[in-house]
C-alpha cells in the first residue's frame, strides 16, 4: 500500500473541471467542495498532514508496489462516505465518471488509467473515524472563515455569524431505515401511537 503521487499536484488541472452549478444531484455539490479544497493550497496541505497518519509508522512509503496518492484516497473516501455507497459503485464511478476523474487529476494523457477494486478497498479503508473527524473539523472551520470573509467583502450591514463552539458542528440529512422490531418494543410503539391518536381526536 505504497503512497505514490501519480503526478505533481501543480500539473493536475483540477481547476479546469466544469461542474453543473444548477444540478440538484449530490455528486456535483461534493465535487465543488473538493475543487475548492484542492485550490486552497494551505487547506489541502493541512488535510494531507492528517492523511499521512493512515499509514502504519513502520511502512516505508517510497518502497513496494505503487499505490494511490493522498489526493485520490481523500476524494474517493469523501465520495464513498457522502454517497453512502459500496466499493463496487465507487469502482465504477472513479473509472467511468468524467468529472470525478477530472477532480482526481486525470487528464488526456492518463485518461485510460483505471483503479482496481482491491486497491480501492486496501487504501480507502485505512481512513478511521478519528481521521475523518479531524478532517471534518478542519473543513467546517474553513467554511466558517469563508462565510465571515464573504460577508466582510460584500460590505453587508448584517452582523457576521456568531462565534462557533469549541467543537464545530455541521448539518446533515437523515433517513429512516426499515428494521425488525421485536416484542415488547413493538407493543410499546403501538400503544404510543394509539395514545397520540386519542389525544388528537379529543383536540
**pLDDT one-digit tens code per residue, 51-63:** 888 877 766 666 5
Q: Cell numbers 503526478 label which residue?
A: 7
Give residue 147's Cα distance to chain centre. 20
Residues 70 and 49: their CA atoms lie apart, in Å, by 10
Say what percent of the chain tops pLDDT 70.
Answer: 75
Give the closest residue to 65 by CA, choosing from 119, 7, 128, 120.
119
Question: What is the reported pLDDT for 9?
Answer: 60
pTM strictly above 0.85: no
Residue 179 corresponds to which cell in the numbers above? 428494521
Residue 137 corresponds to which cell in the numbers above? 473539523
95 with 116: CB under 8 angstroms?
no
Question: What is the reported pLDDT for 169?
Answer: 61
Amino acid at each position: 500500500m505504497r503512497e505514490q503521487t501519480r503526478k505533481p499536484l501543480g500539473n493536475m488541472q483540477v481547476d479546469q473541471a466544469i461542474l453543473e452549478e444548477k444540478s440538484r444531484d449530490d455528486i456535483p455539490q461534493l465535487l465543488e467542495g473538493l475543487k475548492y479544497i484542492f485550490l486552497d493550497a494551505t487547506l489541502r496541505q493541512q488535510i494531507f498532514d492528517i492523511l499521512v497518519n493512515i499509514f502504519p509508522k513502520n511502512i516505508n512509503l517510497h518502497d513496494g508496489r505503487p499505490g494511490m496518492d493522498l489526493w485520490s484516497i481523500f476524494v474517493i473516501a469523501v465520495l464513498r462516505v457522502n454517497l453512502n455507497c459500496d466499493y463496487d459503485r465507487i469502482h465504477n464511478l472513479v473509472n467511468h465518471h468524467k468529472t470525478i476523474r477530472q477532480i482526481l487529476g486525470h487528464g488526456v494523457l492518463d485518461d485510460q488509467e483505471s483503479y482496481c477494486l482491491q486497491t480501492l478497498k486496501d487504501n480507502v479503508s485505512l481512513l478511521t473515524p478519528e481521521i475523518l473527524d479531524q478532517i471534518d473539523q478542519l473543513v467546517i472551520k474553513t467554511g466558517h472563515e469563508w462565510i465571515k470573509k464573504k460577508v466582510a467583502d460584500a460590505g453587508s450591514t448584517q452582523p457576521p455569524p456568531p462565534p462557533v463552539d469549541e467543537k464545530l458542528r455541521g448539518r446533515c440529512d437523515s433517513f429512516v431505515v426499515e428494521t425488525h422490531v421485536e416484542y415488547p418494543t413493538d407493543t410499546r410503539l403501538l400503544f404510543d401511537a394509539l395514545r397520540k391518536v386519542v389525544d388528537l381526536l379529543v383536540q
